[in-house]
A and B are shown apart, each in its own frame.
Chain A
């Protein structure tokens, strides 16, 4: 549907803001370089204040970068005003024009582009069908539920067939169930329209569910870029590991290393215990290291790698939730399908068991 899918490239882009209270300048976004391929769905993910929305607003043209250049489909667009950019944005507050009905809201951009009446009618009808709002053309915006308003906002952006579609936390005002439903919808529509999409959110499960690529930002800096799988299984640092899903961090030292490439295996010492580890090519013997252990990658058993003491044991239906102490470190474990397994109680001693393949070493 998009006239032309466009890629977005940021080259060393920075944005400086002034703190209104202290009058001190700081980097809201610092030296960010991105390359977003045409037709992909990319999410900017991070806690509030990490610069993700500022980045999005710079691409839309509402903010001007203080350093660097932004390219849309290969063209530098720094000097273009938002109305001259081939982008369309879906706002967090929907930002529907309250004095127009649904049809007029969706037709607004088309009318500015001077399409004839018949074409506008056709396009609006088509796009409303795509977002599931057939026959609602004459409703006013305040007669719609939150989800419907969001669909109008999406239709209004899509109908312009922009080179890139921008989303600024579009689902944060919806309830949880609707959020899940809408994100699937957004992904489906993006795929059908074959459009480049950049999506800002602080909800990691949302990002995982819809993205081709996730860009994690922290304090104005890009921490990691990768597919959801790469980011989940191979987080580059503690921040990413902790932000995406749940993670346990076990501090130790590498005491043995076999091989020298990325795939090198070895042994790490955690407290008094030694565990086998994989993919330690980036470390040398004697280096401190950190094991990232996802709660679902470990189980409890009578024998295993790390002795522990159970401090919480809670039946959750589909899994048993454990908190255990390994030395001084709290480790969370979710043991799925616990029906025919031994259940440990608070105070029990046990061992944490995991497959070295499922552990990521920082």
Chain B
């Protein structure tokens, strides 16, 4: 066909928007330098030996039986955790969005419980698991009189990871369920479908891509999880811990790089499968037209069993968490149950507690707004705009999603410790606060981007077009329309980024220098030594910080969020 004047004009219009062009250029530079480059270095490391381009390193690591076992271990755990977490997450979300909860207490319990695991460092549950069900665990030793129970290994990891990750699924599913137009379900009900039929034939198909998404996120999170297998895995090694030991224990940088490439390939493969499956099925359910509020289910045959089920699970999780502050208050866990404040005192007097909290807090505080804004900008560009390098931006930010922290950590060590391509350029970055902040950003960016994208996909594109048409440029449209419409998503992205950063460990433990004390690294250290009192004291204070920030966010959303519109 003749002239392609259209694309030329589109380009011309695009460049008439300097703010956007600058943003995109900066974004591409950032993504290339801090996501692509470290991964590329890993590839170079694992293929390039003195003999040139070979597969020697891979041959060597595949010959290790513990590495082969780690692969199957990781996949088994990931699959089970993925399924369990997404289902429990869906249950909680459904109960919150659809079911009329009888009491305020129950309602509050749900929220606290669902929030707790989100705000806690991942290994806190491992700690309490050991303290409740381990050899000197309160439940196993004192209630059931089992003296040789072992929580270490496969089931320990699965349970702890499920309890850790299901709240993420819960949040994702809640967002989706809320956006379903109630009249769709009313229509099905009206046509004679039972409640269950409505759920299985209307609600479920609508959220199926989201459910798959939740499964994917948990699967990858589980595979990438470093802290829990470290503490509760015992001799059951997963890929992340194997890689960590390979570089910190065996000082085998090439082997670790190659293992990281293997781990990356697994997560990447799953990710691609899921993404293409999801892409085909995603549906927009929110239009520019306002819709009415949902009629809650009040039928006792539905509310009672669901409430009981959720309450039981909620109580179990609460028990797990209550354990942690008590662990910090007892003299010697399992033997001496006298209350004491000596662990808290020691945190601040002997173990530089103030410095640890200041470092963790400040670094996360700087990283989170940058992360949240960046992920909203990326989502906006990906969903709402059309330009040449969009594919690149989308692919790389999605790629980051599939990169486990351990892999990224190894990549940064190899990529920045000697400067760019070992030339010394940007060497000052390594060991600085900046690189820690960047790691925080890169680690939280995919989650934020993902939730931003799904929030944006559900906004009718003509809403933004109308603002554009009335004279707003892209920057103005983004600030006055897009951002306010996804304000909830932005805020939760902000807090999630903060929480993820302050509780992060997998990548950061490989990069942190003695100059910075991070709480999570401290907890890990003391937990490994078996000094549960100190570990619990650190963890308790960390939970308090993160929980407070989430509470503040919820209050903020409640009074200033977009949900106010429906009142």
Q: Which residues of A contact B (CB under 8 A)?
A: 14-16, 25, 27, 60-67, 78-84, 87-89, 91-99, 108-109, 112-113, 140-144, 146, 149, 153, 156-157, 160, 173
* Alpha-carbon distance A225/B73, docked complex (angstroms): 72
B9 near A64: Cβ-Cβ < 8 Å: yes
B466 near A89: Cβ-Cβ < 8 Å: yes
Q: Smallest Cβ distance from B540 to chain A, in angstroms?
A: 39
Of B3, B290, B471, which one neighbours A109 at CB under 8 angstroms?
Answer: B471
Chain B interface residue count, Cβ-Cβ cutoff 8 angstroms: 40
Residues in B neighbouring A173, C-beta threshold 8 A: 289
Given contacts A66-B3, A67-B3, A91-B465, contact A83 B471 (CB under 8 A): yes
| Residue B10 lies at the interface, judged by CB distance under 8 Å to chain A | yes
B37-59 vs A, Cβ < 8 Å mask (1 yes, 0 no): 00000000000000000000000
Interface stretch (choices B11-19, B354-362, B545-553): B11-19
* Alpha-carbon distance A264/B445, docked complex (angstroms): 77
10 shortest interchain CB distances as A-B pairs: A142-B290, A109-B470, A64-B9, A66-B6, A95-B466, A95-B462, A93-B288, A64-B6, A91-B462, A112-B471
B5 near A98: Cβ-Cβ < 8 Å: no
* Alpha-carbon distance A92/B1, docked complex (angstroms): 31
A and B contact pairs by CB, cutoff 8 A, 17 listed: A62-B469, A64-B10, A66-B1, A66-B2, A67-B2, A81-B17, A84-B16, A87-B469, A89-B465, A95-B462, A96-B463, A99-B484, A99-B485, A108-B480, A112-B476, A144-B290, A156-B466
Interface centre among A62, A113, A144, A153 (most CB of B within 10 A): A62
Residues in A neighbouring B562, C-beta threshold 8 A: 98-99
* Alpha-carbon distance A141/B8, docked complex (angstroms): 38
B290 near A98: Cβ-Cβ < 8 Å: yes
A15 near B6: Cβ-Cβ < 8 Å: yes
* Alpha-carbon distance A112/B474, docked complex (angstroms): 13
Of B5, B291, B460, which one neighbours A93 at CB under 8 angstroms?
Answer: B460
| Residue B473 lies at the interface, judged by CB distance under 8 Å to chain A | yes
Given contacts A93-B460, A140-B565, contact A112 B472 (CB under 8 A): yes
| Residue B468 lies at the interface, judged by CB distance under 8 Å to chain A | yes
Q: Smallest Cβ distance from B560 to chain A, in angstroms?
A: 11
Residues in A neighbouring B289, C-beta threshold 8 A: 93-94, 146, 149, 173
Of B13, B288, B469, which one neighbours A96 at CB under 8 angstroms?
Answer: B288
* Alpha-carbon distance A113/B485, docked complex (angstroms): 22
Residues in B neighbouring A144, C-beta threshold 8 A: 290
B470 near A160: Cβ-Cβ < 8 Å: yes
Give me 15 other A-B pairs in contact (C-beta within 8 A), A80-B13, A89-B469 excluded: A65-B5, A67-B2, A67-B3, A78-B9, A81-B13, A83-B469, A83-B471, A91-B466, A92-B462, A96-B288, A98-B463, A108-B467, A112-B471, A140-B290, A144-B290
A113 to B, closest residue via Cβ = B471
Q: Smallest Cβ distance from B21 to chain A, in angstroms?
A: 13
Given contacts A79-B13, A99-B562, contact A160 B471 (CB under 8 A): yes
Residues in A neighbouring B485, C-beta threshold 8 A: 97-99
| Residue B104 lies at the interface, judged by CB distance under 8 Å to chain A | no
* Alpha-carbon distance A348/B1, docked complex (angstroms): 57
Q: Smallest Cβ distance from B34 to chain A, in angstroms?
A: 32
List which B450-508 residues lie within 8 A (CB) of chain A: 460, 462-463, 465-473, 476, 480-481, 484-485, 487
B291 to A, closest residue via Cβ = A142
| Residue B385 lies at the interface, judged by CB distance under 8 Å to chain A | no
A156 to B, closest residue via Cβ = B470
A64 near B565: Cβ-Cβ < 8 Å: no
**How many inter-chain residue pairs (CB < 8 Å) link A and B?**
130
B100-138 vs A, Cβ < 8 Å mask (1 yes, 0 no): 000000000000000000000000000000000000000
B471 near A16: Cβ-Cβ < 8 Å: no
B467 near A63: Cβ-Cβ < 8 Å: no
Residues in A neighbouring B480, C-beta threshold 8 A: 108
| Residue B349 lies at the interface, judged by CB distance under 8 Å to chain A | no
Of B1, B484, B566, which one neighbours A142 at CB under 8 angstroms?
Answer: B566
B460 to A, closest residue via Cβ = A93
| Residue B4 lies at the interface, judged by CB distance under 8 Å to chain A | yes
* Alpha-carbon distance A66/B8, docked complex (angstroms): 9
* Alpha-carbon distance A153/B466, docked complex (angstroms): 9
| Residue B65 lies at the interface, judged by CB distance under 8 Å to chain A | no
| Residue B287 lies at the interface, judged by CB distance under 8 Å to chain A | yes
A144 to B, closest residue via Cβ = B290
A95 near B6: Cβ-Cβ < 8 Å: no
A108 near B462: Cβ-Cβ < 8 Å: no
Of B16, B287, B470, which one neighbours A108 at CB under 8 angstroms?
Answer: B470
Q: Smallest Cβ distance from A136 to chain B, in angstroms?
A: 14
B9 near A88: Cβ-Cβ < 8 Å: no
Q: Smallest Cβ distance from A78 to chain B, in angstroms?
A: 6
Residues in A neighbouring B470, C-beta threshold 8 A: 83, 88, 108-109, 112, 156-157, 160
Q: Smallest Cβ distance from A82 to chain B, in angstroms?
A: 5
| Residue B7 lies at the interface, judged by CB distance under 8 Å to chain A | yes
B532-553 vs A, Cβ < 8 Å mask (1 yes, 0 no): 0000000000000000000000
Q: Smallest Cβ distance from B290 to chain A, in angstroms?
A: 3
B472 near A83: Cβ-Cβ < 8 Å: yes
Residues in B neighbouring A89, C-beta threshold 8 A: 465-466, 469
B468 near A16: Cβ-Cβ < 8 Å: no
Q: Smallest Cβ distance from B170 to chain A, in angstroms?
A: 25
A64 near B5: Cβ-Cβ < 8 Å: yes
* Alpha-carbon distance A130/B555, docked complex (angstroms): 41
Q: Smallest Cβ distance from A165 to chain B, in angstroms?
A: 11
Given contacts A94-B288, A97-B467, A173-B289, contact A79 B9 (CB under 8 A): yes
List which B422-459 residues lie within 8 A (CB) of chain A: none
Residues in A neighbouring B6, C-beta threshold 8 A: 15-16, 63-66
A100 to B, closest residue via Cβ = B484
Residues in A neighbouring B471, C-beta threshold 8 A: 83-84, 109, 112-113, 160
Residues in B neighbouring A14, C-beta threshold 8 A: 2
Q: Smallest Cβ distance from A67 to chain B, in angstroms?
A: 5
A141 near B290: Cβ-Cβ < 8 Å: yes
